[in-house]
Amino acid sequence: MKADTIDGLFAMTEPAGLGPEVRPGVLKVREVLAAVDAVCQEASITGKALECLRALVLLWHDHLDEAHTLVQDLSGADAAWVHGIMHRREPDFSNARYWFHRVGQHPALELLAEMAAPLLAEHAALPFRLIHGGRWDPMAFIDAVSASIRPAADAEVARLIRELQRLESKALARYWAAG
């Protein structure tokens, strides 16, 4: 994995799971933090955005507890979004909803909708409407994740949901990089 760019931080072949499972080949915590710090130094990402990105990439590499430790004391919409992802992955969907309500009308919701629209267009049969009025709907995505982890879930839909989760992480990281 080449983790020397914002997108590179999420470049594993296999996208993160929808639950708390740990994939083979994820970076160790210290490797994640070193990669994030190097990218952030290059992109001039500092402060709360740096802490949120650290937590987000830890989540991507299946370190839920460490991500939660970083993000639980941060305030604001960015931290609430990362916190919501963490609880969605536990899975604790009611707690994820609480945190995504705190996200509000985050500017990255439009960026995520733009990034996800082409992928969603390829999969018109997806039974969830994830984009409303040009904005990503995080509550609908929680419903999609919940449906995708059930034993009878369609494997292709679950794969798509995992790719959308990767786009969600990239959109947030790109938003912080744009500063």
At 126 the pLDDT is 73
The count of other CB atoms within 10 Å of the CB of residue 37 is 14
Q: Where are the beta strands (DSSP E) in the chain?
A: 131-132, 135-136
Whether the CB-CB separation of 119 and 160 falls below 8 Å is answered with yes
pTM of structure: 0.95
Q: What's the first-to-final CA gap in the chain, in angstroms?
A: 25
pLDDT, one tens digit per residue, over 46-86 is 999 999 999 999 999 999 999 999 999 999 999 999 999 99
And the tokens for 145? 């994740």
Distance between CA atoms of 103 and 143, rounded to whole angstroms? Answer: 17
And the tokens for 116? 């996800």
And the tokens for 91? 């899975």
pLDDT, one tens digit per residue, over 107-123 is 999 999 999 999 998 88
